[in-house]
Structure 1
Amino acid sequence: MKQIFTYTLALALVLSLVASEASAQQFSKRKQYNSVGVSLNAMNYFGDITPKPSIPSLRFGATRPNIGVNFTHRFTPRISARAALAYGRITGDDSKAADKNDSEAKYRYNRNMSFRNDLAELSVVGIFDLIPNRNTYIKRPDLVPYVFAGVAAYTGNPKGLVGANNVGLSEGSYVALQALKTEGVSYNKGGIALPFGGGVRYKVNKSFDIGLEVGFRKTFNDYLDDVSTNYVASRNDLGSDAAKYFGWDITRNEPGTWNRDNQSGYQRGKSNEDDWYVTTGITVNYILAPKVKSPKFR
């Protein structure tokens, strides 16, 4: 699966470079134009708190909204660049995602983890249209499939749901987990991601396009859900504020002590997979008509 994503990304970049060189001389400034848009998406993630700890596995019940705004500039008949700002939530819950009857998934059901993470993202991508527009924006094709790839910066903070029998915290509230060092390590709340995907754009009229798009984000972070490797071996490995959050046996949210034999140092996540997130949704773009200067006659 990783190889397929890598090849797709590499192919999109190569095609963009080739098309740019071939089309640069055919597309005048008069035909270039800008657009602004808004998007409403469904957001999911691939990670440790899913039915299977692998990229294709997600739980549709964990889908949450994502909204965004964007600015796009068309350079050539096939090539555009888009800058976008988006905000959305990813979630996961072992009690709903893990199958207690699956021998491989039983440890994830027993750990009973849940989280949510509100992610803000700034991205810049190149868009390659599979159908070129060699005319002005008014005569653009009615239906255009496209692919895109680029780079993004994101930030967020995973939060855990407080259960019953906790000390000093109200049940049902959420606690930020990054500072607690739940696995005895420090990690960044944000980072760099590689966005890529594809979509189709439909011309509603001369000024508006509406599109359907699917975008994947490859991160280099296994802690979007605060789960990666093993439980800490000792309470002393936790952050100073973790005692309130971990006032019970974290494997089942029951009263108990921290250093239990069935928990200390044991597997908590699958450490060889970075987390991903994905958006699927609708985008509406408004084209900013370019100002055409009239020739001056003398």
Structure 2
Amino acid sequence: MNGGVGVTHYLGDLTEAGNLGYLRLGAAMSGAVAYRYSPQLTLRAEAQIYYIRGTHKNTHLEYNNLSFHSINPDIWAGVQWDFWPASDPNHVIIPYALAGVGLTYMTPMAVFSGQPVSLAPLQTEGVKYNRLPFIVRYGLGVPIHSTERFRWNLEAAYTHVFSDYLDDVSTVYPDLTRMDPFAAALSDRRLELGLKPNAPGAQRGNSQRRDGYFILSARLVFVINTPSYRNYRRIFPR
């Protein structure tokens, strides 16, 4: 059994690569079960709640004035692979790689007139998108402290989302005159800055690149003392 807490960094249409002064960090909390199948292979399943956010503010697209925040659940299952067997006498610290597949549920929201608003039902690009996309997660971990029954791991993982609507932004601006006025106000927020709205078909996002999120977490692992584990420790006393 193990659980983790960490910080998140969203990557998508409402962030800017290399803008280290405005990382828009969030938070995550997770719980997992794992089963060591062999000296190097561990099977793992996990559920997580994560908070992410992004905005055009302080980017080169600040004039578009779009923003979002989201508290989403995800689940995934996959494997961990230790770089060396636990019995290897030449390595005191044994890092591991992880990879797996799962699902996340997207709940993008924005603040409008001081109130949080759910964006997906408004179809801000005139599209009803799937809010339960597949995900692929991969990353690296390293143990930082271990005892017989407890371990502390530091883990960094990136989750690739098979959707470009994690932030409710993907393609082009729709024809606002054909939309509900409230949805139109959330689709193009340039009017709040005193600017003219974008023309229908103007670029709103980059549909060529899927969204994702990075999580750096500290994980506490509790080892359940089963007969198979005791047998494993007799074979691999480390």
TM-score (norm 1): 0.70
Deviations 1:243-278 (A, max 9, x none): 23544862242579xxx6743321111121110111
> Out of 9, 18, 22, which is 1:44 matched to?
9
Q: Does 1:243 align with 2:196?
A: no
Q: 3-state DSSP class of the match of 1:200?
A: strand
Q: Does 1:111 align with 2:71?
A: no
**CA 1:58–1:226: 2 relative to 1, 3 Å:** farther
**CA distance in structure 1 between the partners assigned to 2:148 and 2:137 by the alignment:** 29
**CA distance in structure 2 between the partners assigned to 1:95 and 1:87 by the alignment:** 26
**CA 1:247–1:198: 2 relative to 1, 3 Å:** closer
Could you tell me which runs of 5 or more consecutive residues in structure 1 were left unpaired when the two chains were aligned: 1-35, 99-104, 163-170
Q: How does 1:1-298 map to 2 (within 5 A)?
A: 36-52=1-17, 61-96=23-58, 98=59, 105=60, 108-134=61-87, 142-162=92-112, 171-236=113-178, 238=179, 242-247=180-185, 250-254=189-193, 262-291=198-227
Q: 3-state DSSP class of the match of 1:195?
A: strand
Q: 3-state DSSP class of the match of 1:122?
A: strand
Aligned to 2:235: none
**CA distance in structure 1 between the partners assigned to 2:21 and 2:126 by the alignment:** 28
The structure that has the greater radius of gyration is 1
**CA distance in structure 2 between the partners assigned to 1:268 and 1:262 by the alignment:** 9
**CA distance in structure 2 between the partners assigned to 1:217 and 1:129 by the alignment:** 20
User: Which contiguous aligned blocks of 4+ residues in structure 1 show a shift greater than 2 angstroms?
Assistant: 56-61, 242-249, 260-265, 291-294
Task: State the one-letter code of the partner of 1:216.
Answer: Y
Aligned to 1:166: none
Could you tell me which runs of 5 or more consecutive residues in structure 2 were left unpaired when the two chains were aligned: 232-238
Deviation of 1:58 after TM superposition, in Å, equals 7.0
Q: 3-state DSSP class of the match of 1:253?
A: helix
**CA 1:132–1:158: 2 relative to 1, 3 Å:** same
Task: State the one-letter code of the partner of 2:189.
Answer: I
Which structure dedicates a bigger proportion of its chain to strand?
Answer: 2
Contact 2:124–2:183 at 8 Å: present in 1 too?
no
Q: 3-state DSSP class of the match of 1:179?
A: helix
What is the alpha-carbon root mean square deviation over aligned residues? 2.5
Deviations 1:88-146 (A, max 9, x none): 111001113x1xxxxxx3xx2111111011110111120000121259xxx9x752200
Identical residues among aligned pairs (%): 25
Q: 3-state DSSP class of the match of 1:279?
A: strand
**CA distance in structure 1 between the partners assigned to 2:221 and 2:41 by the alignment:** 16
Contact 2:9–2:23 at 8 Å: present in 1 too?
no
Q: 3-state DSSP class of the match of 1:190?
A: coil
Contact 2:176–2:184 at 8 Å: present in 1 too?
no
**CA distance in structure 1 between the partners assigned to 2:80 and 2:10 by the alignment:** 23
Task: State the one-letter code of the partner of 2:98.
Answer: F
Task: State the one-letter code of the partner of 2:170.
Answer: S
